[in-house]
Structure formats: structure tokens, C-alpha cells
Amino acid sequence: MDFYGFIPRSRLFLGTAQYPSPAVLQRAVEAAGVDVVTVSLRREAGRLGGGQDFWALIRGLGVRVLPNTAGCHSVKEAVTTAQMAREVFGTPWIKLEVIGEADTLQPDVFGLTEAARILCAEGFEVFPYMTEDLVVAERLVEAGCRVLMPWGAPIGTGKGLNNPYGLRALRAHFPDIPLVVDAGIGLPSHAAAAMELGYDAVLLNTAVAKAGDPAAMAAAFARAVEAGRLAFEAGPMEPRDMAAPSTPVLGRALLG
């Protein structure tokens, strides 16, 4: 599975906001062996493109940069931010966020599909931040998206996978599209659960940035993602109701 032709070594993608310092961010990226990070342009840009220093630090991490349109509430804002991101980072990649609701930061799926259509037509490689809705997913694929990023739970809540059924259905519907659980992950066990569902990667920010020791937490997430993926590939057992002893029980009636 590749992300627009790129095969990352790590299936953990990290956000770059809210760390105590850029130095701590760098240690987290190194500790997790991450090679894709996402960075917000909208707020840092200011009105005069004043975010250059921070962007230089991000470029200095030596990893693939997935710029995002976090904080955009309209198609126009998102498209403009994506165009600016392409100039700043010299990449066609864009994590597309069009926020529809201020309290939950839920994606506006209508604006999202429209923005995705515009950006794909302009040659962008779009990573849309979406709900787990199958119909929205279809529309995004029609628009040209070759990666889908459903939420686990609202951004920054750390609640894990709110709708494992919906995420499983999405996986089953799109066996050939790389799927990334983006947002809502609070614990390494949430990340492992997403990977056990057969997701291709996990993208998170707050759970690492706001941890007491972000580098250690990043390493914990990296291992959880690896464990979840390995488990998925290994073929998990099916749960069943009747206990089945793992060693034979001798001297008892088999049917009682």
C-alpha cells in the first residue's frame, strides 16, 4: 500500500502542533522513527507569511511534510491554503480539512468533497479528513482522492475509535484505497485497535504533544501501530462464546 507513490517506513504520522518546543517535537519524531509529519499553515502564516522560521524547522526534520488546511471553514479558504502550502513546502500533498461545526470540529463533508474536486483537478494529492461515512468516501474517491482519512473521534478529544463498526465497513468497502485513522486517538491501544481493523496508518497529534514526555509517548505509539499492523497481517482469531482449553483436558467427559 502506498500513499500517492510513497511508502513510509512507519505507519504512524505525527502532527506538529502544541509541543512544548520545536526541540521536543524533533525528539518525538526521532523517537518514533516517523517519516510523515503534518503541519498547519493557516494560523502560522499570519498576514505576511511570518511562519518561515517554524516551517524551516519542520523541513529540517528531514521527513515527508503533509501540509494541512486545519482551521479552514470554507472551500475557498481551504483551496487558497492548499495552494500556499504547495509553494511553501514544494509538495503536491495536502491534508484537506474543511471544518463544518465549531464545537466538534466535525468536517463539512459537502465543502470537503467540493474542495477535493478542485484540488485534485489542480494536480494536488489530497488526503481528506472525513467522517466514516461511506457515501462521502465514494464521492471523495470520485473526486480523485487516492487516500481517505476518517476520524476516530473529534479532534483533540482522545476518545479513541467512536465507531469501530463504521470504520470496519469503510475498510471492507475500499480494500484498495489507503485508509488512515486521523484524529481522536488518545492512547496507543486506540492506535493498535485501528491498525487491527486493517487500517494502513494512524495520524495523531495531541496525544503525543500534550503527553508528559512526548518523545516516550511517540515511541509508545510507534510500537502500538507496529503491533496492530503485525496482528492484522498475522490473521487474528475469531472470538467465540464457548471456552476452548488451549491444552487438552484429560480424564473428563467430552460432552457433558
Partner 1 sequence: MRVAVIGAGVAGLVTALELAERGVAVELFERAAALGQQACSWAAGGMLAPWCERESADEAVVTLGRQALGWWPRRYPGTRVHGTLVLAPVRDAGELTRFSARTSGFERLDADGVAVLEPDLAGRFRQGLFFEQEAHLDPRLAMAALAEALRAAGVPIHYGVEADETALDADRIVDCRGLAARDQIGELRGVRGEMLVLRTDEISLSRPVRLLHPRIPLYVVPRSNGHFMIGATMIESDDRSRVSARSAIELLSAAYALHPAFGEAEIVELRADVRPAFPDNLPRIVEDGRILRFNGLFRHGFLLSPALAGQAADRLLASRELPDADYRQRRHA
Q: How far apart are CA 184 and CA 42, in angstroms?
A: 21
Q: How far apart are CA 57 and CA 55, in angstroms?
A: 5
Q: Which is nearer to partner 1, 71 or 92 (CB)?
A: 71
- HSE-up (13 A, CA, CB side) for residue 10: 24
Among 2, 49, 138, 172, binds partner 1 (CB under 8 A): 49
Candidates 38-46, 78-86, 121-129, 139-147; binding stretch for partner 1 (CB under 8 A): 38-46
Cell reading at 115 = 474542495
Candidates 37-45, 87-95, 114-122, 189-197; binding stretch for partner 1 (CB under 8 A): 37-45
Candidates 7-15, 42-50, 119-127, 166-174; binding stretch for partner 1 (CB under 8 A): 42-50
For 104, the 3-state DSSP assignment is coil
Q: How far apart are CA 51 and CA 45, in angstroms?
A: 5
User: Does 46 interact with partner 1 (rule: CB under 8 A)?
Assistant: yes
Among 4, 30, 44, 134, binds partner 1 (CB under 8 A): 44
User: Does 57 interact with partner 1 (rule: CB under 8 A)?
Assistant: yes
Q: How far apart are CA 75 and CA 107, in angstroms?
A: 12
User: Does 68 interact with partner 1 (rule: CB under 8 A)?
Assistant: no
The residue among 148, 110, 143 whose CA lies nearest residue 127 is 148
Q: Which is nearer to partner 1, 23 or 121 (CB)?
A: 23
Among 30, 33, 54, 187, binds partner 1 (CB under 8 A): 54
CB 223 within 8 A of CB 187: no
CB 174 within 8 A of CB 30: no
User: Does 47 interact with partner 1 (rule: CB under 8 A)?
Assistant: yes
Q: How far apart are CA 190 and CA 176, in angstroms?
A: 23
Minimum distance, C-beta of residue 225 to partner 1, in the bound complex (Å): 24
User: Does 187 interact with partner 1 (rule: CB under 8 A)?
Assistant: no
User: Does 22 interact with partner 1 (rule: CB under 8 A)?
Assistant: yes
Q: Is 210 noted as a catalytic residue in this protein?
A: no
Q: How far apart are CA 139 and CA 114, in angstroms?
A: 9
Write out the residues near partner 1 by the rule CB under 8 A: 20-24, 26, 43-54, 57, 156, 210, 212
Q: Which amino acids are annotated catalytic?
A: 95
